[in-house]
Amino acid sequence: MISTDGVDGRAVTAAELGVPEVFNAAAYFVDRHAAEGRGAKIAIECGDERVTYAEVAARVNRVGSALRARLGVRRADRIVLLLHDTPAFAYAFFGAIKIGAVPIPINTLWKAPDYESVLDDSRARVLVVTDALLGAVLAIPPERRRALEHIIVVGAAPEGTRAFDDLLAAGSPDLEAEPTSRDDPAFWLYSSGSTGTSKGCVHLQHDMVVCARLYAQAVLGLTEADRCFSVAKLFFAYGLGNGLYFPFSVGATTILWPGPPSAANVYAVIDRHRPTLFYSVPTGYGMLLAHHGEEGRDFDLSAVRWAVSAGEALPPALYARFKERFGIDILDAIGSTEALHMFIANRPGGIRPGSSGTILDGYAAKIVDEEGRPVPDGEIGNLWISGDSTCAEYWGQPEKSRNTIQDRWLRTGDKYYRDADGFYWYAGRADDMLKVGGLWVSPIEVENTLLEHAAVLECAVVARADRDTLVKPAACVVLREGYQPSPEFAAVLQQFVRTRLPEYKRPRWVEFVEALPKTATGKIQRFKLRS
């Protein structure tokens, strides 16, 4: 129900969820499984490797104790993790948290200048890095990584670095958790930076519990019998939940894949490990649908009970094609790095294709105009969210923190409208919306319409100025194999949209491109197409 001040739902606190005042996330997500009889259960499958919860706990302790005793890591020290999706990620992430240090997973697809920026901003003393990624770090001149004292390498460790395996061997399998508060910093995540400089989102010890309880368990019905496979990697907020703390919250099994998420690789992992919960992004689902088995045989996804999508809005046409081919519903949802994971989602038995779903129990939402006043259902406005998984601040950026997170409300930067049944419909980023002839045009609506055409593989709609400098929609289109770009075919697509949407929403230009620029999470970088 919407309250008189336009608020949908109620944000519950971690304390209301039973998180005690003295709380260490590593103790909750790792240590308790042995005490509850799950020590021998498989926690991680990664290729041929199988790791039990007891083994995870011992290795987390070894990493934490070695960081403290051998490297002098203190409470609140930052530790950057530049790691592929392997068990070492879990050991380093929770090992740091257990001693009160602050791990910072970062994007494995970035370049040396990006890593330099994070190392400088975080003032991290320790870096844990996969050997294949070390070159990008060593490309940073030593004088520009002055705060960095130790480089720990998972794999082959060259001179001047330390081997992660040596760190494990040097540590103790026994370690008491630092008695942190539920409101102490636990880890940071850097936002994608798709429209500007990345920002360090400071997440607290209780945040992962809130997301696991309110989404993974309450919506997906996650239990210890589940097997989770996330195409989105662990360094993303989305992937971190899907592939690590969600399964660890109930003693389920996570399936890690350190390689590239090509359709062939993803199908191979599904075939070998038989996940019950599968997480990807719209681009990933599109890749899976474009890939077919040999000799007319299709891939077997019968073990998957729910597929989940996030990162950007899932087009209804993609949902329908995936459902028709595999018989599996995709539960589309929206979350953010700032909120850590989902806050609005489609539910089993309550799916409305094209929408982001309804507000999760335990979160609150409102859609407001530019002055912060609630707008009526059906009207596009700015989405604000409140929930106890929201980051405490952007590290070292008080003005941005104040502008984005105020009075427990997170200004998401997304344009949305809510329908009369409580479903939320994405209308684009605040800076992606087009105003044509005084009317708002959602690029998502035009894109979804274009995607209904059999020739369109991908597309993005952006603002372009006509000769009178008035803003009009322009479409950048990637065609499916077998279709040829031409001015005549551009006119066909324009007419296709005209027959389905009001005339002012028709793209005035159609440009054919080989690929769309995207972030590592698969989000289309429309700002690059506007330039």
Tell me the pLDDT tens digit for each residue of 366-378.
999 999 999 999 9
How far separated are the first and last CA of the chain, in Å rounded? Answer: 42
Q: Give the model's pLDDT for residue 194.
A: 38
Q: Which neighbouring-strand residues pair with 192?
A: none
Reported confidence tier of residue 195, pLDDT bands at 50, 70, 90: very low
User: Locate tokens 């969820």: which residue?
Assistant: 17
Q: Which of 109-118, 216-225, 478-487 has the lowest mean pLDDT?
A: 109-118
- pLDDT, one tens digit per residue, over 159-182 is 999 999 999 999 999 999 999 999
Domains located in the chain, CATH noted = 53-180 (3.40.50.980), 227-429 (3.40.50.12780), 434-530 (3.30.300.30)
- pLDDT, one tens digit per residue, over 318-355 is 999 999 999 999 999 999 999 999 999 999 999 999 99
Higher pLDDT, 311 or 203: 203
- pLDDT, one tens digit per residue, over 33-66 is 999 999 999 999 999 999 999 999 999 999 999 9
Which contiguous run of DSSP H or E holds residue 55?
helix 53-69
Higher pLDDT, 362 or 400: 362
Strand-pair category, 330-335 with 306-309:
parallel
Report the mean per-residue pLDDT for the chain: 94
| Residue 197 confidence (pLDDT) above 70 | no
Q: How far apart are alpha carbons 109 and 128 in whole angstroms?
A: 16
Q: How far apart are alpha carbons 521 and 284 in whole angstroms?
A: 10
Mean of pLDDT values over 127-156 = 96
- pLDDT, one tens digit per residue, over 497-530 is 999 988 889 999 999 999 999 887 788 888 888 7
Question: pTM score, two decimals?
Answer: 0.89
- pLDDT, one tens digit per residue, over 250-287 is 999 999 999 999 999 999 999 999 999 999 998 889 88
List the one residue out of 119, 278, 88, 289 whose CA is nearest residue 188.
119
Cα three-residue angle 321-327-328, rounded to 5 degrees: 90
Q: How far apart are alpha carbons 3 and 10 in whole angstroms?
A: 10
